[in-house]
Structure 1
């Protein structure tokens, strides 16, 4: 038999139970409503006395959900602030997490009904939690709500803090995959944030390194999506997709081998290879949403970068013309385009009809590029050492000459 200790009406939780239950039963007759309101208040008191905070939260959520469309947003925020605050009363991490799951699960059930307010409530709940796993769970619910409720602009700014969040949450690989893929999908809805969407998609694919073939097969569709997004993007000219096992598995895949071949062309070959591929696979390109003319434009710039990577540092105008398949009077135009998008730094010698390259962007930056960079740094270090040695030698010689002159004067 339960003993109920009288609780002050000023208690916020009990006040919320009374307010929400009265409003929920407002359409019923007093004979029906009053016993129900009394029952709910007594049940709430019992839960408070016995420290059954999870049960109390569930009871309060049920009534609050019924009145969500009947009260102002200000009142709703107050109601849910009291409900969310119950997580601070939990006596164990497991109970805190379970309460966070119950509250957040209820809040996201109607994503199109006041989504911005629901998202704010989830943020408040997140800030009240101490357990990192509970925080991660609530954050994922917030992502889902923002996406389904079309209020992603409220959560996108938090992505800048993702590195610090990951340190705090200390989540496993499977949770990281879910997180990165969800963020990528959220960002995909914003055309201006396509690069950020691609970045998180690449992070997702990177989590499959070292996995077995069966697990890695989960990433096939997203690997294809990453390739298509890279090829389609007019302002992305470098990526490390070829080094990723999740992408590499497509090379011998019966369904996606051609998509992998397309990526390889864009990252390692020139325009002629793309034109040959298009002639045989134009239907595939269309099915991927790729526009042939846009691909030619990007491939011309990629081909020019490939020419610029030659160690000679000089590219004859005629070679650019033939490689890019353009007229003589278009050569400088394409060089300027490459400079504008910061693919190369160069000077155009119109007299000798050559482009003198001082820097170019690498289309891929894998093991070979690291080795080349290491060689260049070693050479630079050696040159600096020689300069220092020469300066020191000259200084010793000068000091010796000055000493001899002093002796002669004496």
Structure 2
């Protein structure tokens, strides 16, 4: 559906508002979809800001918000989830917990289990460990739990958005990698040039 919405220009995007609404709804309720910023750039979806402000707001919430933001939205609009998104609230709470974890992992690679417990509203016990294992299983993050320090060490993650800051970080990492490879290559050449191959 996203591919279809990309074909609309600013001039004819009005005719795609229903498609945009359904595309947003489908992306939000899809348990495997964690990136929404690409939808916010589509002309037809941008028109939802005026024609269906709550649908646009919930899209922004899933793109950038946390579990606390979601609960605030549900408190203000108690029937929206069931009537407009046609999904059970528990499904979206589970998704927002994962998105909140991803958000925390984008900011810090070492997350205190206590802080995580507070942010995702899961007791700091086996239930939290099961949540982390599920997040790793579905590739939202990769990492390990340090039982002694009561921390989650994140080694990689699926970014919620991939904009300019992520491109700049990728560029920096590639430059560092190229520099490191270049240094290694020079060291290997020097070892072979000196005849030291032991």
TM-score after normalising by structure 1: 0.45
1:199-348 alignment, distance < 5 Å: 201-208=1-8, 211-212=9-10, 214-239=11-36, 240-251=38-49, 253=50, 255-288=51-84, 289-310=86-107, 312-329=108-125, 330-348=127-145
> 1:247 Cα shift?
1.4
1:356-367 alignment, distance < 5 Å: 356-367=153-164
Equivalent residue number for residue 181 of structure 1: none
For 2:141 and 2:81, the matched residues in 1 are separated by 28
C-alpha RMSD of the superposition? 1.8
1:110-189 alignment, distance < 5 Å: none
> 1:331 Cα shift?
1.8
The C-alpha deviation readout for 1:225-245, integer Å capped at 9, x for no partner, is: 111111111222224212222
The C-alpha deviation readout for 1:115-157, integer Å capped at 9, x for no partner, is: xxxxxxxxxxxxxxxxxxxxxxxxxxxxxxxxxxxxxxxxxxx
Instruction: Tell me, yes or no, if the aligned pair for 1:315 and 1:356 is still in contact at 8 Å.
Output: yes
The C-alpha deviation readout for 1:39-96, integer Å capped at 9, x for no partner, is: xxxxxxxxxxxxxxxxxxxxxxxxxxxxxxxxxxxxxxxxxxxxxxxxxxxxxxxxxx
**How many residues end up aligned between the 2 structures?**
194
Unaligned runs of 5+ residues in structure 2 are none
Indicate whether 1:392 and 2:189 are aligned. yes
TM-score after normalising by structure 2: 0.90
For 1:313 and 1:333, the matched residues in 2 are separated by 19
Greater RCO between the two (CA within 8 Å, min separation 6)? 2
The C-alpha deviation readout for 1:256-310, integer Å capped at 9, x for no partner, is: 1111111111121210011101110122222211321111011001111111222
For 1:276 and 1:226, the matched residues in 2 are separated by 23
For 1:264 and 1:273, the matched residues in 2 are separated by 11
* Greater C-alpha Rg: 1
Structure with more of its chain in helix, by fraction: 1
For 2:180 and 2:104, the matched residues in 1 are separated by 27
> 1:371 Cα shift?
2.8
